[in-house]
Amino acid sequence: MDLPPVGLGTMGVDDPHVVETALDVGYRHLDTAQIYENERVVGEGLASSDVARDEVTLATKLWIDNLAPEAVESGTQASLDRLGVEAVELLYVHRPRGGYDPAGTMRALDTVREQDLTTHLAVSNFTPAQYETAQAHCETPIVANQVEFHPLFQQQDLLDHAREHDYTIVAYSPLAGGEVFDIPEVQSVAEKHDTSPAAVAIAWALSYDNVVTIPKASSRAHLAANLAAADLSLDPEDVRLIEGIDREVELFPE
């Protein structure tokens, strides 16, 4: 799936105007989830925008209470109703927990795909082994794995697995919850390129050919800055410096 390099993460977004502004700035990938409790907000922002629906990749995620095989279709339809759309481009299993049963859940998602309620299937917070198990029970290609990925939580093994199996890593929390502003290595690269640590963190994630990212922002200025970070090219030594950070912080552990 050809996803834009930078999309909008909407966890915590409660104002449709933020979504409308993001689309006006140039975003074409909107990411929400049932557990965010803002699908209606995202849908309202999309509906209010002048951007055509077919120009936008809209993604949502089934929460763990809608992953039992018999709940997948109704859970998906509930999301579509809240979003105000007939289908989404990308439908995720949010976490492999709760009612998730690899065989039953993935077969049910195949059916959802066959019914054209989504164009593509994906998973989120899956290990390489969990991805392989899910794909073994799913006829539809699993095109993405959305995971926490930033300078303090790099998951290089997952990057390698994604390349090997030809799927995209969708990196959430690329700014490490704001901690990138206090990382000396990121600060150093930002000073070198006369830019912000936020831009460096986004550009670092995008330096990997199988990674896109979905930072959250609310103001027009921050939305535009995050989108523009896709144009920042880091030098190989910049990437290696950040890869060598000897500290790990996982913001959203299982």
Residues belonging to the active site: 36
What count of other Cβ atoms lies within 10 Å of the Cβ of residue 204?
Answer: 29
Give me the phi and psi of 150, to 5 degrees please. Answer: -160, 175
Alpha-carbon torsion (135, 4, 6, 214), positive or negative: negative
Q: At what angle do helices 197-206 and 220-228 cross, to 10 degrees?
A: 40
Strand order in the sheet with 88-93: 8-9, 29-31, 57-62, 88-93, 118-124, 142-148, 168-172, 211-213
Q: How far is CA 143 from the centre of its chain?
A: 12
* Residue keyed to tokens 């849908």: 43
Give me the phi and psi of 18, to 5 degrees please. Answer: -60, -45
CB 188 within 8 A of CB 198: no
Q: What is each CA distance from 15 to 113, 215, 217, in whole angstroms?
A: 30, 16, 12
Measured distance CA(6)–CA(230) in Å, rounded: 7
Measured distance CA(223)–CA(94) in Å, rounded: 25
Measured distance CA(58)–CA(42) in Å, rounded: 9
CB 169 within 8 A of CB 158: yes
Any idea how long the chain is?
A: 254
